[in-house]
Structure 1
Amino acid sequence: MKPDPVLARLAAMKAAPVAELKKQWRELFSEEPPAFNRRYLESRLAYRIQELAYGGLKQETVRRLQQMGEQLDGGNITTRRVRADLKPIVGTRLIREWQGVEHTVTVTQDGFEWQGRPYQSLSAIARAITGSRWNGWIFFGLKDHRRAA
């Protein structure tokens, strides 16, 4: 049995330098690659290679996925663009001590809740707690401040 060239190409991506992945991106997407990490480039390239070789999703499936997305985010394009895997799971409690006072934030479907009030962002809550501008993800320990710089 002859080896599948698509699988060989996908396997070769793991050892390819990022410059090669970006070159493949230009070839496959006819545009400059985004400034995302290697894992993102690999996953999108792998999908595109398979899509071109084996065919993409049926239009009916694409429409259905779009409808499901609109049901989940209420048609809010901003919500749709925020990566769902970045936000903690609904119901998660974030606890932070600030100047001897413990603050608890609950992750909600629409954002966050602190002291019974809804907030769109953790940064707004961090500002309310500290009185100064903070990156909310760093303030609550969800992002390493050294890597954010």
Structure 2
Amino acid sequence: MTWHWVAEQDPRWDQEKAAALGDLPPTLFGLGHPEVGRPLGDTWWRVEDDTGAALGYGRLDDTWGDAEILIVTAPDRRGSGVGAFVLENLEREAAARQLNYVYNVVPTRHPEGDAVRTWLTDRGFDATEVGELRKRVASGAAPGGS
């Protein structure tokens, strides 16, 4: 089955995003207490399979030449490569915007924070003195998408 990287033209909170977070509250990721249909800031994409089912999401919040990223994988898809697919595409999107770094701050209350930090470190992220995990963006990468 093929996965598709789909830009959300008017990103809004919906049941699919809530389901992808599983038991993790949106407040953990700075999303507040969103209501269905509420507009979301930043730039969002979703990963869909050939049936149109949402497998995960990526968010890029770019400011000052860098971008904070959020990677969300549906609970039943964790460990299947969806997260790596999201990360690869977020890196390409950041490079296309000529950004310097992508970074993530794993919330201290994240129930699997150590595993997430290890996962990011294994993919080339380095810890900074302010608690970010940061990775230099490869220049010249073209954005993916469908």
TM superposition score category, shorter chain reference: under 0.3
Larger Rg computed on CA atoms? 1
TM-score scaled by structure 2?
Answer: 0.27
Structure richer in helix, relative to its length = 1
TM-score scaled by structure 1?
Answer: 0.26
Structure richer in strand, relative to its length = 2
